[in-house]
Structure 1
Amino acid sequence: MTVYWFMMAWVILFGILAQVTSKRVCVGEYLGEEVYEARAHLFMAVVTFAVIVFFAGMRTTVGDTTAYIKMFGDYPLFQNAHDIIFDSSAREPGFRLFSILIKTFISDNYNVWLSIIAVISGICVMYPIYKYSCNFGVSAFLFMASCQFSWMFNGMRQFLIAAIIFSCTDLILKNKTLLYIIIVCILSTIHKSAFILIPMYFIAQGEPWNKRTILFIGCIVLAMLFTSKFTNLLTDVVEQTDYASSVNEFKATDDGTNPIRILVESVPIILAFIYRDNIKDKLTPIIKLSINMSLIASGLYIISKIAHSGILLGRLPIYFSMYNLILLPWLLNNIFDKKEKDLIYFIMIICYFLFFYYQMVVTWGGLSYGSEILNIKYQWH
């Protein structure tokens, strides 16, 4: 796990530097006074995320990377790709076209291809955090420690969508519904699961704990009460998606999302609910949206556990859980006073380190990393 510990150390070091060199900006008013929050400088934000992007682009063997590399190698050049691009029986034509264009006009080296995807994903995650997080360093640490970074190494196609739509946060805040839906439809050509973003867009609008979010909570309760029927419905739906082969292969052992991950990802929404009266007058538009997105993520995680579907539903919360990277630092800054805050931050860091170790070592067996170009081959034993 040497590579990942190095990445963690880099993110912590430059995350701290990013926060130390941050500037104070006005984000609104509270009780008639202007409210200021820290915002990192763009250069420091880029440097902090650079290490994740670098190792994601240089990889050869991590998770499903080998299969992706083979797929890229099998793609023809653009002038010979008509049948592959327009094959109606194949899924996700947008990703095929994107990859073929890179192979034809940029490079047929798979590390160049992986690096381009890593750069896009990394920037799209970094930018909303840089723009909205009151503590960029903590947000970057959470991205690593919660293991959300691992999507850039394993599951990159779906994460590419999640990152791009995360970077479109302004469209939600400015109620640019049509443009948002158009972007989602385009992204669905990369991964069909993107369509879930359309109904969730309307649930996430408005004040926290409004009628739409309460209705969503009601749906979770119904799923708990009618687990067997819900699971059968889920099975019928998944057979029509690109997850079908994976689900059929692993459904006998798929016990849903790990309860520990559900707990970790639910901490922000639990805090937001417990202290809702304390923070209701301090909420900014981005925090309102983040609370609703966090609720959706936790709800999907719970449903995935109920339905024993970690492979299908357990992957969907990544479209929403990245808002926790903005929400949790804000909650810690606005719920606790200065004396409590230092202790809470210390406890949070220790707990997330423990989760990082548990997820990476115990659950994933070290998450092996290999890179031919860097001459690195790490295999957990």
Structure 2
Amino acid sequence: MLTLILLLTAVCFLAATARRWHPQAAFQDLRRRWDPNLVLIAVLLSLLIGLRTDYNDTTAYIQGFREAPLLSGFLADPESWDILRNPLFGSYTSLCRTFTGNYHVYFMLSGLFIAFATVSFLRRVSEEDTFALDLFTYITLGTYMFALAAMKQTIAMAILALAVADLAEGKRLRFAALVLLAGLFHTYAFLALGLLLLTGKPWRWVTWALILGTVAVMLTFEDTITTFLTYADAIGRAASSEMVFSGEGMNLFRVAVYGVVPVASLLFRPILEPQMERRHYLLLHMSIVSFMFMLLASINGANMFGRMARYFELGTVCMFPWTIRHLFNRRSQPLAVGAFVCAFLLFLAYGFWDFDSAYSSITLLEFLRSLI
């Protein structure tokens, strides 16, 4: 886990000192410019993604890249344009394969896009006092590590991050266009269109309808999911029943962590809601949606529902530090933040203690030499 601790330390230090380049500028102004520290953060985050040779599904992506047709062959195949078969990810893979046989270039380009899109999202929606903590949460919650395991999904998630930032600013058409683009990289991303209904104040009828719908699915899990699988098969998007009814439920401890923000926002609503802006309504609803999928994952289909939860996880990433900052006064904030940091470092260790033994990579120098 030493690799992750070093990365975490460097990223949080750079985030905490970002304004040293523009000491007189308001933090809101930094959302419109790329501070050198922010560029360094994005580059550091991209390196673990781009340099890896093995971790989780990495070997499957390497094989998929090596077996991908050239772009001309991909475009000539009518099945490539089935919108439910991730056509943009396939065309992106084929495009990279057309110009290089070096899969590290493929990984690095993906990593750079994911990292820059995520940092761009955080600098647009975060507050000055929580920006470093947001990045800390992004890594320790495991959101960042998902990019090392599921590149296709995290490219779609990166596009959604840009979309959510637009929706938080009221740019609904741009949001819808980016969601449709993300859905062509991975079908689950189409679920984010539902966020158009979740831009209002939380814990009104829409929020409760979402929760009641989740409870209804949980109570009728097998019948409801079987009906969904039948419908998916009918429209040509076959889903594996083994993936859903695998008998594997999400770890309840992990589910409970995702439930902290939604539960706290309900219990302390009179304190938190008056301090919220429009973007916080959206981010909180994303956290609630992520928690609802995690609840479904706790029953069965941990892999599928857990991955659906990931598409809304940035809401939890942003709202956890925000909730701590606004729930405690200035005197108690340092103690609360300290407890939060300690707890999430333990959570990181709980999930990724063996990261260094599972992850392998080439060095940056080896990558640069491979380009020559």
Query: Which bracket does the TM-score occupy, shorter chain normalised?
Result: 0.7 to 0.9
- 2:203 maps to a residue whose letter is W
CA–CA separation in structure 2 for the residues paired with 1:84 and 1:54: 34
For 1:151, the equivalent position in structure 2 comes to 146
The unaligned stretches of length 5 or more in structure 1 are: 28-35, 377-381
Residue of 50, 63, 70 corresponding to 2:56: 63
TM-score, length of structure 2 as denominator length: 0.86
User: CA shift at 1:181, angstroms?
Assistant: 2.6
For 2:370, the equivalent position in structure 1 comes to none
Q: Is the 8 A contact 2:153 2:186 kept in 1?
A: yes
Number of aligned residue pairs: give it: 361
Secondary structure of the 2:85 match is coil
Secondary structure of the 1:339 match is coil
Residue of 198, 213, 229 corresponding to 1:204: 198
**What is the 5 A alignment of 1:217-236?**
217-236=211-230
Q: Is the 8 A contact 1:77 1:104 kept in 2?
A: yes
Q: Per-residue CA shift, 1:117-139, capped at 9, x if unaligned?
A: 11111111111211221221111
CA–CA separation in structure 2 for the residues paired with 1:167 and 1:367: 33
User: CA shift at 1:76, angstroms?
Assistant: 2.8
Residue of 334, 348, 360 corresponding to 1:356: 348
Q: Per-residue CA shift, 1:62-88, capped at 9, x if unaligned?
A: 111111111111123223433447446
In the alignment, structure 1 residue 52 sits paired with structure 2 residue 50: no
User: CA shift at 1:103, angstroms?
Assistant: 2.6
CA–CA separation in structure 2 for the residues paired with 1:96 and 1:43: 33
Residue of 96, 99, 106 corresponding to 1:102: 96
Residue 249 to residue 288, structure 1, CA distance change in 2 (3 Å): closer
For 1:160, the equivalent position in structure 2 comes to 155
For 1:18, the equivalent position in structure 2 comes to 18
- 1:335 maps to a residue whose letter is L
Return the structure number with greater helix share. 2
More displaced 10-residue stretch of structure 1: 321-330 or 155-164: 321-330
Residue 22 to residue 323, structure 1, CA distance change in 2 (3 Å): farther
For 1:31, the equivalent position in structure 2 comes to none
For 1:330, the equivalent position in structure 2 comes to 322
User: CA shift at 1:48, angstroms?
Assistant: 2.6
CA–CA separation in structure 2 for the residues paired with 1:44 and 1:92: 34
For 2:109, the equivalent position in structure 1 comes to 116
In the alignment, structure 1 residue 131 sits paired with structure 2 residue 124: yes
CA–CA separation in structure 2 for the residues paired with 1:349 and 1:322: 18
More displaced 10-residue stretch of structure 1: 56-65 or 96-105: 96-105
For 2:369, the equivalent position in structure 1 comes to none
Residue 26 to residue 114, structure 1, CA distance change in 2 (3 Å): closer
User: CA shift at 1:156, angstroms?
Assistant: 1.2
Alpha-carbon RMSD across the aligned residues, in angstroms, is 3.0
Q: Per-residue CA shift, 1:84-106, capped at 9, x if unaligned?
A: 4744679222111112222324x
User: CA shift at 1:22, angstroms?
Assistant: 7.8
Residue 250 to residue 3, structure 1, CA distance change in 2 (3 Å): farther
Q: Per-residue CA shift, 1:264-315, capped at 9, x if unaligned?
A: 1222222222221112222111111111111111111112223x01111111
- 2:74 maps to a residue whose letter is A
Residue of 317, 337, 361 corresponding to 1:371: 361
- 1:5 maps to a residue whose letter is I
**What is the 5 A alignment of 1:243-282?**
244=239, 248=242, 251-255=245-249, 257-282=250-275
In the alignment, structure 1 residue 319 sits paired with structure 2 residue 314: no
CA–CA separation in structure 2 for the residues paired with 1:181 and 1:49: 26
TM-score, length of structure 1 as denominator length: 0.84
Q: Is the 8 A contact 1:42 1:130 kept in 2?
A: no
Residue 234 to residue 350, structure 1, CA distance change in 2 (3 Å): farther
Residue 22 to residue 213, structure 1, CA distance change in 2 (3 Å): farther
Residue of 284, 293, 297 corresponding to 1:300: 293
The unaligned stretches of length 5 or more in structure 2 are: 367-372
In the alignment, structure 1 residue 142 sits paired with structure 2 residue 125: no
More displaced 10-residue stretch of structure 1: 8-17 or 293-302: 8-17
User: CA shift at 1:234, angstroms?
Assistant: 4.6
For 1:379, the equivalent position in structure 2 comes to none
Q: Per-residue CA shift, 1:313-350, capped at 9, x if unaligned?
A: 11111111112222222222222111211111111011
CA–CA separation in structure 1 for the residues paired with 2:187 and 2:164: 20
User: CA shift at 1:43, angstroms?
Assistant: 2.1
Q: Is the 8 A contact 2:11 2:135 kept in 1?
A: yes
